Structure 1
Amino acid sequence: MTNTSYRTLDNKSERIVSSFLANHYYSVLKANGSIAGFETITDPALQRRGVDFIVTNTDGTKTNVDLKAAVAYINESLPTQAFELSSLFGGKVVQGWLFNNRLETDRYLIATNITGRPIGDKVKYDYVDAMQYSDLRSIDVFEVPRQRLICYLDSLGLTRDVLEGYSRTMREHNILDKDLTDGIKIKFSPHLAERPVNLVIRKSILLKLADSAYTVTRTSMRPLANKNGKEQINGHQNS
């Protein structure tokens, strides 16, 4: 399977995850009164600007949400989340989405620990190729405000200039990974078509930065451990 087809399957599986979260996450938050409404974005131009959902808050303000789904790791438990610093596009190195000020993202909806029913012995992209909406079982979601994350990194001395400097150095010298501080490292993946350099952050850190964090299933939402949040929501009711 080529890297191009990987991206096609990523897009397919991300649409499935997006539908699952619209139906079992945002719809529940709306019915529960936590948000006033939401819109699932299907316009490719707006999606390229970092907007997959637009949430209407209870005070009438709107929040642009960028879905980041770990679709390549379905049925695997990941301890970290990657944030793109740079990648290759059209043979040129371009700025990644984390520090791209042209994007309109207000917060990241991180979808991880995605589980689905077994499909024979299929794994990774072969699984994604066969997966249907009905196969999804549960997803962990973290809502992390983009600016809060950037300010946290700044407080550690990991400013945009510092991190983009590391990104250039790693490309120039083919350095694959470098630990920056406890729970945060930078990783270069030259084996992938886009040759991304990512900032890799442990989820325990993201959990502290998140406004909310839930395990979402078809019948319930329960707060993730170590995150003060609302009581479990079953269907459309607080339990």
Structure 2
Amino acid sequence: MKSAFTSDLGKEKRLSELLDTYYSQYLKHYLFERIHNIQEQLQGVDVIFKHRTTQETFLVDEKAQLDYINEDLPTFAFELHYLKKGALKEGWLFDSSKKTDFYALVTAIYEDEPAKYTSCKITFVNRKKLVAFLEAMGVTRNSLLDYYQHGSLPHGKLEVRELNPKKAGYLYHSKNNKAEQPFNLILKLDFLVTHGIAKTLV
């Protein structure tokens, strides 16, 4: 299986061009700077937004559904853990080393022209609010890790006691179809918006 880390690079570059046009069009009160330094990107910073008046800055990590081109999914996968050379690694959601203030979740990516992304949806998620909201429900890094370590976790969907799988979310282990075998928390986008954790840009 080809690693997603390498296969997504070209797609991400094409997508960033579309995202920049949306940022310019819909975020008039902000200046933005796209980050190209790999170390900063690894710390969860793809774009820095600065408010034109207050000068307040926000560090944004772009997460895109590049495996689902020309599809509009109602959910998004938040990475909890993955494997690298057989070792379990911390996913980006609960990774305390990440500097991310907001996630820009990019969904419904359409490619209506050859090798060009022509439209998408962007949902901004406040990272601190999300983690605090989940923890208040009893959904924590450690509680979710318990599911992973409970025996040999099979491929597929796993329900979480604290979450309604139809309205809120569930766990998903991509054991058979991805090289890194990510263990993700799948959350409904409208659930996040309804609870004031996320806002839709476009």
TM-score by length of 1: 0.75
1:94 is paired with a residue whose SS is strand
Paired residues of 1:142 and 1:206 also in contact (CA < 8 A): no
Give the aligned partner of residue 8 of structure 2. Answer: 10
1:156 CA displacement:
1.6
Query: Is residue 2:199 matched to residue 1:206?
Result: no
Could you tell me which amino acid in structure 2 is paired with residue 186 of structure 1?
A: L
Give the aligned partner of residue 87 of structure 1. Answer: 82
Give the aligned partner of residue 44 of structure 2. Answer: 50
> Which piece of structure 1 moves more, 110-119 or 193-202?
110-119
Could you tell me which amino acid in structure 2 is paired with residue 138 of structure 1?
A: S
2:54 is paired with a residue whose SS is coil
Matches within 5 A, 1:7-156: 7-22=5-20, 24-30=21-27, 32=28, 34-35=29-30, 37-57=31-51, 58-117=53-112, 119=114, 131=115, 135-156=116-137
RMSD, aligned CA = 1.7
Q: Distance in 1 between matches of 2:100 and 2:130?
A: 12
Paired residues of 2:124 and 2:201 also in contact (CA < 8 A): no
TM-score by length of 2: 0.88
Q: Distance in 1 between matches of 2:92 and 2:148?
A: 13
1:73 is paired with a residue whose SS is coil
> Which piece of structure 1 moves more, 139-148 or 56-65?
56-65
Unmatched runs of 5 consecutive residues or more in structure 2? none
Q: How many residues align?
A: 193
**In the TM superposition, what whole-angstrom CA distance separates every residue of 1:146-182 from its partner, at most 9, and x where no partner exists?**
011111111221122211222322xx42233211221
Paired residues of 2:45 and 2:99 also in contact (CA < 8 A): yes
Give the aligned partner of residue 174 of structure 1. Answer: 153
- Runs in 1 of length 4+ with deviation above 3 angstroms? none
1:211 CA displacement:
4.8
Give the aligned partner of residue 186 of structure 1. Answer: 171
Instruction: Indicate how the Cα distance of structure 1 residues 15 and 66 shifts in structure 2: closer, same or farther if over 3 A, else same.
Output: same
1:199 is paired with a residue whose SS is strand
Could you tell me which amino acid in structure 1 is paired with residue 17 of structure 2?
A: S
Unmatched runs of 5 consecutive residues or more in structure 1? 120-130, 216-239
**In the TM superposition, what whole-angstrom CA distance separates every residue of 1:59-98 from its partner, at most 9, and x where no partner exists?**
1121110000101101011121000000011220011110
